[in-house]
Amino acid sequence: MKTNSNSYTIIYSAVLVIIVAFLLAVVYAGLKDRQDANVALDQKKQILYSLNIRQFQNDADAEAIYNKVVKPEAKVDGQPIFYANVDGQQKYVIPMKGMGLWGGISGYIAINGDKRTVYGAYFNHESETAGLGAEIKDNQKWQEQFQGKHLFKDGDTNTIALSVMKKKTDPETQVDAVTGATLTSNGVTNMLHDCLSKYTKFFNAK
């Protein structure tokens, strides 16, 4: 076969693509267990962050603390929840997912045993603007504003009042918006309302 013919070019390209695809598949399969383990560890770290546990020496230390503090994922009314015990106090950790300005946002919020107040929170994002919307992940002080905030307002335990606001009118249920990131802040509020409203029956249970 002539090496400068069209058929040779097509066959050569097809064989090359098949070989590369095969090698990529082998590498992916070989690394999948490690990737899954890394994803699981990252989730555990985020849950610990929401419980205000941020100091651990290494991954093994984080894993050990998590196993001591947090129980395996459970379900309430079909929704995922994590039961935790911090310094002898019951906490409930709820996973959240929503949309920011440029992509998905997510996080975990830890609720005190009273099922009325926030113990801690951690937020993550896929592709928010660095220095603006990305602050929901990078700014620990902003996340700490959620501590002690109330889920509900004026005794209405069927409507989530916890919100991120540019101009706060209720310091008990509202957190300052991220400066210069109004749409991302709105996304966090929508995520809080959408996700936490699925647990109102649990919050109202004795």
Closest of 187, 4, 206 to residue 96, by C-alpha: 187
Considering only residues 49 and 21, tell me which one the structure prediction assigns the higher pLDDT: 49
- The confidence score (pLDDT) of residue 118 equals 98
- Report CA-CA distances (Å) from 140 to 24, 49, 120: 38, 10, 11
SS3 letters for 142-195? HHHCCCCCECCECCECCCCCCEEECCCCCCCCEEECCCCCHHHHHHHHHHHHHH
Supply the pLDDT for residue 134: 67
Phi/psi for 154 (5° steps) reads 55, 40
Q: pLDDT for 56-75, tens place per residue?
A: 889 999 999 999 999 999 99
* pLDDT score for 131: 47
Q: Name the E strands within 9-73.
A: none
Looking at residue 199, its pLDDT comes to 97
Mean pLDDT of the chain: 87
With a cut of 80, say whether residue 51 has pLDDT above it: yes
Count the alpha carbons within 13 Å of 48 in the hemisphere toward its beta carbon.
Answer: 20
Going by pLDDT thresholds of 50, 70 and 90, the confidence category of residue 128 is very low
Check whether 1 has a pLDDT greater than 60. Answer: no
Residue 186 pLDDT exceeds 60: yes
Range with the lowest mean pLDDT among 14-23, 89-98, 171-180? 14-23
Give the integer Cα–Cα distance in Å for 81 and 76.
7
Element (H, E) at 27: helix 6-50
Q: What is the DSSP letter of 72?
A: P
pLDDT for res 112: 98
d(CA 62, CA 177): 30
> 12-21, 66-75, 141-150: lowest mean pLDDT where?
12-21
pLDDT at residue 29, rounded to an integer: 73
Q: Is the pLDDT of residue 142 over 70?
A: yes
pLDDT over threshold 70, residue 133: no
* Percent of the chain's residues with pLDDT above 90: 58
CB atoms closer than 10 angstroms to residue 58: 8
More confident residue, 97 or 182: 97
Amino acid at 132: L
